Chains A and B, each alone.
Chain A
């Protein structure tokens, strides 16, 4: 029963939700909408469990002065302060339309946003280092990759387009590379992934896949 019940629930809910794609009738959508709301409530409830997990993982280290306890203390203090600010009322408006207190908006604007932007900006350096390794012409495939990447990059910037005589041919070749071989490979990946997704979904819905329940 411990294993059969989850499989039964998965099957019924899975079939209903697959049906949503094929049945646009508003009565059916009312039913699936209700199920989706249950899902949203579950997801929201899981945030409380996430909070508990953060405290369970980091608080003992801070209390016992374990390795890197300072970082964990910063995390817990930041969590407590942001949470407290989140509960206070205010009339400041975030981009999402949510009204928050001045202190919460200050944390959002002057701590959260710059930190996120910094992490995102680091991507440029990571792309450079990964590109340097990927574009080393070690074999025929890597050389082909290097040539294709160099062509696309060069023809995508104004200086490439402005090269006398061959500039327009470079752009045309770049467009062809992106539209034909690149697009063909992408579509093959999409079709394969879509079939894999259907297959995985059906395996779970039909109860063939049980590894998430601890196997047979």
Chain B
């Protein structure tokens, strides 16, 4: 069922939904950008439709509700360990098609890698429903069409497109139909906007030779990459974390066990007790990250991890382009194939 709403009508829909749901959406943080007088678009809990940024690309991904940067798992005392509580009010997350495809990658890792699923992720995931933000145009550095994540046909409860100042919504979940019907200007079949091509295009070969892991192409990043890990933190498909305990200063035997977001680009990621680490240079770490996104995940699960949102390119302080790295690696793989042929 599709609906066309005025912006006021959409505001009323959101107000009604806020009675039942916590709503997380991209919002503009004025002046909070990386440079003076620049803004940043990040996810936050919103309390009205006006706060929701529907036109710009978000600099950070939606994943922070599902996988917070820091999440308390347990509270412990000397004798007991107790799981931290989580408010059980349901959650609506506004996201674009690439991110909707990223949800499946998060589910893959947390719910379906290994025999046991992640209980803490599952309890957050269970609370969430998704709202698809249509893409009327491609943004800088996006390559969703190359990764097949440019279109989403299911998994959302309703969609939101901004067209000529009106909101066009495709309502998939019948539970949401009445609130739309009450506030819409008219009913109309809606197909969410999506892009079919991007300026940035990549082609990922089906196979990479093992020699790509030792190729000198990665050396460049040992000198260029500063290992800040921003690419991991903005990535909607990066899931790594580290277990950390904190204790209270008043009583050191009482505290919390937390998991915090971790980055394969940052020192210490592969360090074992005693100090040995398995990837020392930034070039090796770049190779580890990129090959996971475009090859290793696919070898394990059958589809690529990267969804082509391009946020890592947007955020890199050294202007390293991840899509360019894919192109270089692909060229090396394909040149190797030709040599063999």
Physical interaction between A and B:
no
